[in-house]
Amino acid sequence: MTALLFNSGALFVFLRLKPKRSPSSIFMTNLALSDACFSLTLPFRLAYYLRGAHWDLPDWLCRLCVFCFYLNLYTSILFLTGLSVLRWLAVLKPLHHRALTTPHRASLACLGIWLFVGGTSVPFLFSGTRVRAGLTRCFEPHNSASWKRIFILNYVGVTFGFLIPFVTILGCYGSIIRRLTATAISQKLQTGSLKRSQGRRRRQSLRLVAMVICTFLLCFLPYHVARSMHLHAVVSGWGCVVTATQQRVLVVTLCLAAANSVLNPLLYYCAGESFRMTIRNASSQRRFRSSLTQGSLLYSHRKRSIPSMTSKPTMLDTPLAQPLTLPESIPDTLSPVNDSP
């Protein structure tokens, strides 16, 4: 639910940025869309493991959950790689950046990623539920031929979906760090200090580098290592004890891979200036509307508690303002008192 909430909010922000769409925002919009769609399948997978690996839902839903997992996993990796390449072009090739990276080209690149990952993930739609040990299983191949097919697909995914993107990201961000460090040293030697705006931009870029690399190391690397070892154990027949242990490890690393959907919104906030400004503007507008509402309620309360001037009694309505009627004879209260007995 957290992943769905965060990514739905991110999609809303990106849609509000439609007049200011940039190549980076297009990649981040597609990344948020991928995470939001995958988040819809997480409750079914969680229910499956909480019920002791028993699937009591339709077979087509099992196939869809498997397909969506791999679709999200590798589109996320490739969209993050695209963002890294865009950042590299902006820092190292600023003169060619605007000409090379246009919203139209970014949209075509995202479409190509969707088609490539979707096409290579289609075989997972062929593996549905199976009955084993009296339980209906999901996310498991049916026979040895299916295991071998997934074994081959695993290395295709590891090579093109993890290793090549990870090396690309390391190369891009390594070049960015060297350029930013060299620029900062040159500026300090010339002026003796670093401008505040440049220092802030440098810290922001380094923060983005750290977040993307940590995402790969914490979310994607353990899962690909555990999956490869588990498939080797099954195909090579390493024994039930080893296979069962590695399967439990695989489930844990699968949760780490799924946690990427929750971490990506933090990346949007750190990487996108327009994203941060939209959130801040929305927050300030909400506070402004709240203060206006509170002020109007307070004014209405005070207005009801103070009587109107038309109903307020005036001096002309008081008894003291009426004409005095004097008695015919006024006793002489100043005469001496008769003290005689």
Q: Give the residue-averaged pLDDT of 185-202.
A: 65
Give the confidence band of 20 by pLDDT, cuts at 50, 70, 90. low
Residue 311: pLDDT over 70: no
User: Of residues 255 and 267, which shows the higher confidence score?
Assistant: 255
What per-residue confidence (pLDDT) applies to 223?
94
Question: What is the tens place of the pLDDT at every residue in 68-104?
Answer: 999 999 999 999 999 899 888 888 888 888 888 899 9
pLDDT tens, position by position, 267-297:
766 665 554 555 455 545 555 455 545 555 5
Cβ atoms of 30 and 277 within 8 Å: the answer is: no
Q: How far apart are CA 232 and CA 227, in angstroms?
A: 9
Q: Quote the CA–CA distance of 163 and 305 in Å, as a whole number.
A: 72
Express each pLDDT in 105-134 by its tens digit: 999 999 999 999 999 899 888 878 888 878
In the chain, what are the domain boundaries?
A: 2-125+139-282
Q: Which two tokens stand for residue 127?
A: 């593996």
CATH fourth-level superfamily of 2-125+139-282: Rhodopsin 7-helix transmembrane proteins (1.20.1070.10)
Average pLDDT, the chain: 76
pLDDT at position 264: 80
Using 50, 70 and 90 to split pLDDT, how confident is the model at 198?
low
Distance CA(72)–CA(258), nearest Å, equals 9
- Please give the pLDDT value at position 325: 45
Q: For residues 199 and 79, give the distance between their C-alpha atoms in angstroms, rounded to a whole number.
A: 27
The model's pTM: 0.74
